[in-house]
Amino acid sequence: MNTIKNASPDLSRHPCFNVRVKGKFGRVHLPVAPKCNIKCNYCNRKYDCVNESRPGVTSTILSPEQALSYMDKVLVAEPRITVAGIAGPGDPFANAHETLTTMQLLRQKYPDIILCLSSNGLGLAPHVDEVADIGVSHVTVTVNGIDPEITKNIYSFVRDGKVIYQGVQAAELLLARQLNAIEKLKTRGVTVKINFITIPGVNDHHAEATAIAMADMGVDLFNCMAMLPNADTPFADLSEPDKPMMNTLRNSCEKYLPQMRHCKRCRADAVGLLGRDKSSEMAGCLNACATMPAAPAKVRPYVAVASLEGMLVNQHLGETRNFLIYARTEKGYDLIEERPAPPPGGGIGRWEAMTRIFHDCRAVLVSDMGKSPKEVCLRAGIDLVTMSGFIEAGLDAVYTGKGRESLKKRAKKSCGTAQCLGTGTGCG
């Protein structure tokens, strides 16, 4: 994917991060992330509701393409929208593909829009580089404490892949992931807000310690929020913190970090100015966009190539640092650009990021690939061609459909030493 690193929206136009403009500029939350990877004891996952006004609620779910269409209509209905965010109804990074595809589509069409994400932080760290490269300037992480002995009482479970953690083990894992993500976000210059959900008798005494720790990490804003009791949850019978308690906590935390005091605990499909939400007015439009048929597949004009020297297809998908992007022209094949691969590491997140690099490519020519990236790319509709030989032969096969059976994957060679990667290019 062509990431956009030079987008520089006016960050003073974010009404959640700048109280002075909350009545002047607005935001829209795009509900593209239904799945969640943790279970909070204050959260009711029955999110498909048009009448409730609380975090995690939406009247429907959109695909990335539907979200872009909805954004078009939102800006006509409310041109004061300056921020597009994803805040659920689950977690954006339990739905990383949908989240990042939506952000990329928005950045391409609306380069001046402020992009914003809100996450529990469990799955965020592997995607921070892509988040920053797209131009997401504001990220909120919900951190309900920095002592696992306290936060273990807040979560029923934490799910990491297919493994379920509970109790203090779950709290320790979540905190470690959150701290890692925040550190990476600040390294990339992203503005970070912390949401601290205040739960009386559980973590209310721990707000100041959390604010101190977040200030030490360079966090920009702290949002001490009152828990909203939800029916059919373990915390349903707890009382909502009253205003005197919240004022006391905010004053205490403000010694270390600026406080957000104007939070409206928005829905996952919130739209409009803070305090003048139009989600009920836009519900019909939102639902209409959710029923739109999938757009016809766009013709992908390019082919990506993994090559060391620009003549042969001779690199493994995982070892390629820069992909050569070719287009077919009247004169033959032209190299139009190079695109950097996502940095090594990050597990499946790296392969998902790679599919977005290939968003306009009909095929990728490589010498070989592993099982995991192959599955991810095929799910994204990307044709992976393993071969050896000249790049032009591979391009001919892809564009004409002829001679593909003659393309042979090269035999992997190595000199037998432990250090040799066996790239087949010789050691001389």
The number of folded domains in the chain is 2
Same domain, 30 and 65: yes
CATH value at residue 210? 3.20.20.70
Same domain, 30 and 78: yes
Identify whether 337 is part of a domain.
Answer: yes
Listed residue (203, 82, 100) closest to 150, CA to CA = 203
Identify whether 297 is part of a domain.
Answer: no
The SS3 of residue 356 is helix
Same domain, 326 and 394: yes
Identify whether 386 is part of a domain.
Answer: yes
Same domain, 321 and 252: no
State the Cα–Cα distance between residues 90 and 295, nearest whole angstrom: 25
CATH value at residue 320? 3.30.420.130
Same domain, 334 and 278: no
Same domain, 224 and 88: yes
Task: Please list the pLDDT of the chain residue by residue as tens digits (428 residues).
Answer: 333 333 444 557 787 777 776 777 888 899 999 999 999 998 876 654 433 445 656 768 888 989 999 999 988 888 888 889 998 889 999 998 899 989 989 998 888 899 999 999 999 999 999 899 899 999 999 999 999 999 999 999 999 988 999 999 999 999 999 999 999 999 999 999 999 999 999 999 999 999 999 999 999 999 999 988 888 888 888 888 899 999 999 999 999 999 988 776 778 888 877 777 777 787 888 888 888 876 555 678 999 999 998 899 999 998 899 999 999 988 889 998 999 888 777 667 788 888 888 888 889 999 998 888 888 888 777 888 899 889 999 999 888 887 777 776 544 444 444 444 444 433 33
- Residue 46: per-residue pLDDT: 61
State the Cα–Cα distance between residues 279 and 167, nearest whole angstrom: 37
Same domain, 19 and 164: yes
Listed residue (286, 266, 234, 270) closest to 55, CA to CA = 266
Query: Helix, strand, coil % (nearest 5) of the chain?
Result: 30, 25, 45
Identify whether 154 is part of a domain.
Answer: yes
- Residue 140: per-residue pLDDT: 94
Same domain, 134 and 160: yes
Same domain, 223 and 83: yes
Print the domain residue range for 230. 11-290
Q: Which residues contact 120 (CB under 8 A, 6 or more apart)?
A: 36, 37, 38, 91, 141, 142, 174, 178
Identify whether 415 is part of a domain.
Answer: no
Which of 241, 257, 290 is a domain's end point?
290
Identify whether 283 is part of a domain.
Answer: yes
Q: Are 145 and 155 in contact (CB under 8 A)?
A: no
Identify whether 67 is part of a domain.
Answer: yes
Same domain, 195 and 332: no
Residue with the two structure tokens 């210059």:
189
Q: Are 365 and 391 in contact (CB under 8 A)?
A: yes
Identify whether 6 is part of a domain.
Answer: no
Which of 264, 290, 316 is a domain's end point?
290
Which of 234, 267, 290 is a domain's end point?
290
Same domain, 233 and 333: no
Residues in the chain: 428
Same domain, 344 and 224: no
Q: CB atoms < 10 A from the CB of 105, how many?
A: 17
- Residue 425: per-residue pLDDT: 39
